[in-house]
């Protein structure tokens, strides 16, 4: 019997403040971070009966310890959702939370359920990337990939080789702009609404409250120029023009549009299309280019139809390669208007929902914009893009 595909909406998203790896969350469990996000989503949306949540998908790149044991199910239980609510864990490295959203959205679209929670968590202080991993030696021995493909910073240097016109000075300038935009966004109260305060404990100072991101810093082109290039002698990738190692969690409510209207839930944005692709693992940073082309093709749109971009800043060179490919200026105001991961942080599997949450907030401020996208590069050679429609659109060019 034929089914009609239902419209899916992003209702609300929250995140913990992002900490430096092993920083303010050194004594906080990873699962407690995502539990805090789930509880906050339910608190903010009291019109949603807990028993109406029908799935919880939580991503983690390193599914071990306090990020293991099918974290979507255990986090749902610990967050106080009914025991009838199922859950699962998901892994697509940096695009874990993005994939959690698209996966539950697909289930909603085909009618498997109406309401889901999707998000991600990464405690890189406790679980460094690659912990417990045992890559099959044939992947290197049989030359399926170059050894550099397993080191994300090395892949960024490889990308620099492919796009020599993107200089280190240009990546540093982009990184500095990210820091400045994030500082301005904080000063203007743009980011605080996304954040869930988290109780933290420090052995020296006792209990405290994490209420802002730990990673943003005051810097300059002069300071950025002095930083070491750890992935290659005389290279271009530094700690200043790349995202750091971070701890944090995110969660979002993803709902069928008719159910959202039935329950009186706010509609932040409407899902249009998404695309995931594989690329050469040695230059994984190019991934968002073909994934965006795929998502645009599915949606019947062009890049000129996109009025806002939330691009994950894993490495500045990766974002700049994307912008150059699509003919977008480095300082285009549509791109990461509140800064990005270089300033805010990138706790791997959680970042996709951060991008979505910020885009939804920006949609509310820009009714002249109809479409926006979230995109990110993904380790082992992939890219992911999700295109969204602004429910507040009042007509205009984009």
Give the catalytic positions in this structure: 94, 346, 377
At 155, list the tokens.
């892949």
Residue 303: DSSP 8-state = G
Instruction: Provide CB contacts within 8 A for 319, sequence distance 6+.
Output: 174, 311, 313, 335, 336, 340
Are β-strands 371-378 and 382-389 bridged in parallel, bridged antiparallel, or unpaired?
antiparallel
Chain centre to alpha carbon of residue 41: 17
At 46, list the tokens.
């009291």
Listed in sequence order, the DSSP H helices in the chain are 30-44, 71-78, 96-109, 138-141, 152-162, 168-187, 221-225, 257-263, 288-299, 316-325, 341-344, 351-365
Chain centre to alpha carbon of residue 344: 11
Query: Residue 122's closest CA among 37, 21, 40?
Result: 21
At 381, list the tokens.
């050679």
Angstrom distance (rounded) from CA 21 to CA 345: 10
Chain centre to alpha carbon of residue 228: 27
Q: DSSP string covering 231-248, please? A: TSTT-S--SSSB---EEE
State the DSSP H helix or E strand holding residue 218, giving kind and residue range, or none if neither. Answer: none
Beta bridge pairs of residue 118: 57, 252
Separation of first and last alpha carbons in the chain? 37
Q: How many CB atoms lie within 10 A of CB 388?
A: 26
Cβ atoms 116, 72 nearer than 8 A: no
Q: DSSP string covering 326-392, please? A: TT--TT-TTB-TT--HHHH---GGGHHHHHHHHHHHHHHH-TT--EEEEEEEETTTEEEEEEEE-TT
């Amino acid at each position: 019997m034929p089914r009609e595909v239902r419209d899916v909406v992003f209702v609300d998203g929250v995140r913990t403040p992002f900490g430096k790896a092993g920083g303010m969350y050194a004594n906080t469990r990873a699962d407690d971070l995502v539990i805090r996000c789930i509880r906050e989503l339910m608190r903010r949306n009291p019109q949603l009966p807990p028993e109406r949540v029908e799935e919880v998908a939580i991503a983690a790149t390193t599914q071990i310890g306090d990020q293991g044991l099918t974290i979507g199910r255990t986090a749902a239980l610990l967050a106080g959702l009914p025991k009838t609510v199922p859950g699962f864990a998901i892994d697509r490295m940096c695009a874990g939370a993005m994939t959690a959203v698209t996966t539950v959205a697909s289930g909603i679209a085909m009618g498997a359920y109406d309401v889901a929670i999707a998000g991600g968590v990464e405690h890189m202080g406790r679980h460094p990337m690659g912990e417990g991993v045992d890559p099959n030696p044939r992947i290197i021995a049989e030359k399926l990939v170059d050894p550099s493909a397993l080191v994300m910073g090395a892949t960024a240097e490889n990308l620099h080789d492919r796009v020599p016109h993107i200089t280190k000075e240009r990546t540093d300038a982009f990184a500095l702009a990210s820091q400045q935009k994030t500082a301005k966004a904080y000063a203007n109260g743009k980011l605080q609404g996304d954040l869930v305060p988290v109780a933290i404990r420090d052995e020296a100072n006792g209990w405290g409250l994490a209420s802002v991101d730990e990673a943003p810093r005051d810097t300059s082109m002069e300071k950025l120029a002095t930083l070491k290039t750890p992935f290659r002698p005389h290279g271009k990738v530094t700690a200043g023009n790349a995202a750091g190692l971070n701890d944090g969690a995110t969660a979002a409510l993803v709902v069928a549009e008719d159910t959202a209207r039935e329950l009186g839930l706010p509609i932040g944005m409407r899902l249009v299309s998404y695309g995931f692709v594989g690329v050469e693992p040695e230059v994984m940073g190019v991934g968002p280019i073909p994934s965006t082309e795929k998502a645009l093709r599915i949606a019947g749109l062009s890049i000129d139809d996109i009025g806002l971009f939330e691009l994950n800043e894993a490495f500045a060179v990766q974002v700049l390669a994307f912008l150059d490919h699509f003919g977008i200026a480095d300082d285009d105001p549509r791109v990461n208007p509140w800064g990005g991961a270089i300033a805010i942080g990138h706790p791997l599997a959680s970042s996709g929902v951060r991008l979505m949450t910020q885009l939804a907030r920006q949609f509310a401020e820009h009714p002249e914009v109809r479409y926006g996208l979230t995109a990110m590069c993904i380790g082992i050679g992939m890219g992911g893009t999700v295109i969204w429609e602004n429910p507040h659109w009042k007509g205009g060019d984009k």
